[in-house]
A = this chain, B = another copy of it.
């Protein structure tokens, strides 16, 4: 990408770049639908009260006000008004609201995918935009949700990511019950605080995390070391269970977490080999996760940050006594596509959908040319008609400049020929039967 966004943090793609993004979106949709996920969209706008319900994230939120509204509140009072409108910053919180509002119309467990833009007012940097697209899948139950869905959703995401034109990836999976049980077992009770500190491991390193645990959470040196030891465990199979047990901590919640994570990893070893690890350093910042937690790195692009994150949330959505536990994962589409484009990891085979340009013989031949085009289109061949009867050389040049591979000629006697302008080969052709080679029919996106 030679270009920079004209508004920092709000990337826009050129048409040939957009083809790569479309390919990513189409691929994800296909995999999600093959696994029975229904599409929904939620409005871009939530109330401030809804968005801030689950913790301290208001730093990132864009508030809305009608420019012409003379009573419009200023930003300060906007923040204070829970009914004020703001743009959503993820798709999980809006989805939880949607489920609660429409519970009477949904069949549970409800499986949905949702591909939409979200907005965060953070400082833009590589891999972090202010406007970006997320692709989420979630399964939500009414009352309870079998743990098996945690396993399934990890496998679906591994399949979806595997279908994209991206380098190898690795799902790093942990379980909050395991971590919380362990911390409780060693006598650290502010588990949210410990998780927040552990979440900083990659940024500040183990020594500083130990400092934090001691200074901010009153951990002893021993407790801090035990927490760090747990976070250092990372296995490609279920051997993490033994390694955790070897730390000699016993706690019921810990056992539950171990059993859950073991199920996920055991299934992944079999069904998505090499794509998943148990990584006990994964904490996830957001408060609403209650079990499985996932982050995903692109191998060789670790500094890009997680390209797919999420987990289990048992208490995000509820309606009176009715609870809607869920599990879901969110792919950072813009982050992925930015990387694909900036490092030329994949490319479209041409820059326009058009396969054929029908050239004009004379200005009067426009109607006849439209007839040819309509016949080709009726067989799925994307076709344009030239607007001016310029010299053929000029019309061919026009096709070349737009990246259109074939030019169609009809002479005054109604004889048709089609030219592959890449090879120069020109052959007789019948608009009712001619077709380009299958690889030229539609734009394809190929991994570099």
Contacts and interface: CB of A to CB of B under 8 A. Distances in A.
A241 interface: no
Given A36-B353, A43-B131, A377-B35, A78 B102 contact: no
Contacts of A42: 12
A13 to B, nearest CB: 7
Interface stretch (A190-198, A230-238, A382-390): A382-390
B66 A61 contact: yes
A102 B39 contact: no
A47 B6 CA distance: 11
Interface residues of A, number: 93
A155 to B, nearest CB: 8
Contacts of A351: 38, 107
A3 B102 contact: yes
Contacts of A41: 12-13, 18
Interface stretch (A109-117, A298-306, A417-425, A430-438): A109-117
B67 A79 contact: yes
Given A13-B40, A44-B44, A65 B62 contact: yes
A253 interface: no
B36 A382 contact: yes
A149 B37 CA distance: 41
B74 A67 contact: no
Nearest to A110: B15
A35 B366 contact: no
A359 interface: no
Counted per complex, copies of this chain come to 2
A107 B72 contact: no
A358 to B, nearest CB: 11
A3 B106 CA distance: 13
A64 B67 contact: no
Contacts of A119: 44
Interface string A10-36: 111111001100100000000001111
A101 interface: yes
A64 B87 contact: yes
A359 to B, nearest CB: 14
A45 interface: yes
A404 B5 CA distance: 45
Contacts of A97: 6
A185 interface: no
B68 A131 contact: no
A48 interface: yes
A162 interface: no
A197 to B, nearest CB: 24
Contacts of A73: 74-75
Nearest to A68: B59
A76 B68 CA distance: 8
Given A35-B382, A73-B75, A107-B351, 14 more contacts: A3-B105, A7-B47, A10-B45, A18-B39, A18-B41, A22-B39, A38-B353, A44-B44, A44-B119, A48-B67, A61-B67, A66-B75, A67-B78, A68-B79
The 3 closest A-B CB pairs, nearest first, are A72-B75, A74-B74, A36-B354
Interface of A: 3, 5-7, 10-15, 18-19, 22, 33-45, 47-48, 58-70, 72-76, 78-79, 85-87, 97-98, 101-102, 105-107, 109, 111-112, 117, 119, 121, 131, 146, 148-149, 152, 155, 267, 270-271, 351-354, 366-367, 370, 377, 380-385, 387-388, 401-404
6 contacts: A60-B66, A65-B65, A67-B75, A67-B121, A70-B76, A271-B370
